[in-house]
A = this chain, B = another copy of it.
Amino acid sequence: MYKHDAVVRPRYSETDQMGVIYHGNYYMWFEVGRSDYFRSLGYAYKRLEQEGIILPVVESSCRYIKPAMYDEEVLIRTQVELQKGIRIGFKYEVLRKEDEELLAEGRTLHAFVGRDLKPIRFKALSEEFRAVIERVKPD
């Protein structure tokens, strides 16, 4: 299973008054992981958007295990967990970079849609993009 690690350094603006990273910000990190994941496959999400395809999130979830802290780098380990029709699902592990301790794990489920937010059939995507997805999706 192809996985890709994005490195994120938690920002001061992402902390809250508990002294840890605010839980909602993990979703922004998942998006960083996803964006980096596509780039690592040679097909930046930006390019997909330029081709008129967007990938809105249909479901998202996160389980928090240990808090992430300001300035302590984390890895966002991203993989495609499912792809079926116009649905594509990602899984993310947030690991403390120093020792790869698991801090959180999450998921996002997306639909391929056009700029009008209407569904697009998977076959309508470019051949090159479909080949990328075929390569990484689980059996």
Contact = CB atoms under 8 A, between A and B. Distances in A.
Given A59-B62, A59-B63, A67-B56, A11 B23 contact: no
Total identical chains: 4
B13 A70 contact: no
A61 interface: yes
A15 B17 contact: yes
Interface of A: 9, 11-13, 15-20, 22-25, 27-28, 31-32, 35, 44-46, 54, 56-64, 67, 70-71, 117
Contact of A16 (B13, B23, B24, B62): B13
A61 B62 contact: yes
Contact of A23 (B27, B45, B70): B27
Given A44-B71, A45-B71, A46-B70, A24 B24 contact: yes
A16 B12 contact: yes
Contacts of A32: 9, 11
Given A61-B59, A64-B57, A11 B35 contact: yes
